[in-house]
Structure 1
Amino acid sequence: MPILAQEKSTKLSLLDFKNVSTRTFWITSISFFMCFFAWFGIVPFMPDVVKDLGLTPDQKWNSIILAVSGTVFARLLIGKLCDKYGPRYCYTYLLMLGAIPVVLCGLVQTPTQFLICRLFIGFIGASFVITQVHTSLMFAPNIVGTANATSAGWGNLGGGANRLGMPLIAAAVVSLGVAEAEAWRYSMIIAGVICFCMGIIYFFFTKDTPKGNYSDLKAAGEMVVTKKDQIGFLEVLKDYRVWILFIVYAASFGIELTVYGTMDDYLQNTFQLERVTAGNLVLSFALMNIFARTLGGFFGDKFGKLRGLRGRVLFLSFILTLQGIVLISFSGATSLIVGVVFLIMFSLSVQMAEGATFSVVPFINKKAIGAVSGIVGAGGNVGAFLAAILLKTKSSFAEKAAITANEGLGAEVIKNAQSIASSSAVSSGYLIIGVIVVLTGLVALSIKFSKEEEQLESKKYTEEIIPQLIPINVKS
Structure 2
Amino acid sequence: MKTTVTTKATKLNLTNLKSIPIRTFWISSIAFFMCFFAWFGIVPFMPDVVKELGLTPDQKWNAVILAVTGTVFARLLIGKLCDKYGPRLCYTWLLIIGSIPVILSGLGQTPMQFLICRFLIGFIGASFVITQVHTSLMFASNIVGTANATSAGWGNLGGGANRLGMPLIAAAVISFGVAETDAWRYAMIIAGTICFLMGIVYFFFTQDTPEGNIKALKEKGKKIPNGKKDEVGFLEAIKDYRVWILFIVYAACFGIELTVYGTMDDYLQNTFQLERITAGNIVLSFALMNIFARTLGGFFGDKFGKTKGLRGRVLFLVAILAIEGVMLTVFSTMTSLIAGIVFLVAFSLSVQMAEGATFSVVPFINKKAIGSISGIVGAGGNVGAFLAAILLKSKSAIAEKIAIEDHQGMGEAVIKAAQSEAAASAVSSGYLMIGMLVVATGICALAIRFSAQDEKIAQKELHQTSREFATVN
* TM bucket, shorter chain: over 0.9
Conserved 8 A contact 2:5-2:21 = no
1:206-263 deviation per Cα after TM superposition (whole angstroms, max 9, x unaligned): 0100111001111111126765786342321111000000000000000111112111
Number of residue pairs matched by the alignment: 469
Match in the other structure for 2:352: 351
Q: Give the structure-1-normalised TM-score.
A: 0.96
The 1:164–1:83 alpha-carbon spacing in structure 2 relative to 1, beyond 3 Å, is: same
Structure 1: which amino acid aligns with 2:383?
A: V
Taking every aligned residue pair, what percent have the same amino acid on both sides? 74
Aligned partners of 2:6, 2:100: CA distance in 1, in Å?
Answer: 39
Match in the other structure for 1:408: 409
Structure 1: which amino acid aligns with 2:56?
A: T
What's the CA shift for 1:469? Answer: 2.1
1:181-218 deviation per Cα after TM superposition (whole angstroms, max 9, x unaligned): 11111111111111011001101110100111001111
1:236-295 deviation per Cα after TM superposition (whole angstroms, max 9, x unaligned): 111100000000000000011111211111111111111111110011111000000100
The 1:232–1:367 alpha-carbon spacing in structure 2 relative to 1, beyond 3 Å, is: closer
Conserved 8 A contact 1:5-1:140 = no
Aligned partners of 1:364, 1:235: CA distance in 2, in Å?
Answer: 10
Conserved 8 A contact 1:325-1:438 = yes
What's the CA shift for 1:459? Answer: 1.3
Conserved 8 A contact 1:230-1:367 = no
Match in the other structure for 1:146: 146
The 1:424–1:9 alpha-carbon spacing in structure 2 relative to 1, beyond 3 Å, is: same
Structure 2: which amino acid aligns with 1:426?
A: V
What's the CA shift for 1:434? Answer: 0.6
Q: What SS is found at the alignment partner of 1:368?
A: helix
Structure 1: which amino acid aligns with 2:243?
A: V
Conserved 8 A contact 2:31-2:195 = yes
Match in the other structure for 2:277: 276
Alignment of 1:336 with 2:337, yes or no, is: yes
Deviates more, 1:252-261 or 1:216-225: 216-225
Aligned partners of 2:51, 2:228: CA distance in 1, in Å?
Answer: 57
Deviates more, 1:33-42 or 1:44-53: 44-53
Alignment of 1:162 with 2:159, yes or no, is: no
Aligned partners of 2:402, 2:262: CA distance in 1, in Å?
Answer: 23
What's the CA shift for 1:6? Answer: 8.8
Aligned partners of 1:221, 1:395: CA distance in 2, in Å?
Answer: 58
Q: What SS is found at the alignment partner of 2:232?
A: coil
Match in the other structure for 2:102: 102
Conserved 8 A contact 1:257-1:384 = yes
Conserved 8 A contact 2:228-2:368 = no
What's the CA shift for 1:60? Answer: 2.4
Structure 2: which amino acid aligns with 1:182?
A: D
Alignment of 1:10 with 2:38, yes or no, is: no
Match in the other structure for 1:78: 78
Conserved 8 A contact 2:83-2:230 = no
1:46-76 deviation per Cα after TM superposition (whole angstroms, max 9, x unaligned): 2222222232333222222222111100000
Conserved 8 A contact 1:242-1:375 = yes
Q: What SS is found at the alignment partner of 1:367?
A: helix
Aligned partners of 2:227, 2:135: CA distance in 1, in Å?
Answer: 24
Structure 1: which amino acid aligns with 2:200?
A: I
Conserved 8 A contact 1:299-1:356 = yes
What's the CA shift for 1:406? Answer: 2.0
Match in the other structure for 1:308: 309
Deviates more, 1:219-228 or 1:57-66: 219-228
Root mean square deviation of aligned Cα? 1.6
Conserved 8 A contact 1:214-1:223 = no
Structure 1: which amino acid aligns with 2:267?
A: Y
Aligned partners of 1:316, 1:76: CA distance in 2, in Å?
Answer: 23
Q: What SS is found at the alignment partner of 1:10?
A: coil
Superposed counterparts of 1:250-329, under 5 Å: 250-329=251-330
Q: Give the structure-2-normalised TM-score.
A: 0.96
Aligned partners of 1:216, 1:202: CA distance in 2, in Å?
Answer: 17
Structure 2: which amino acid aligns with 1:34?
A: M
Alignment of 1:208 with 2:208, yes or no, is: yes
Gaps of 5+ in 1: none
What's the CA shift for 1:5? Answer: 13
What's the CA shift for 1:408? Answer: 2.3
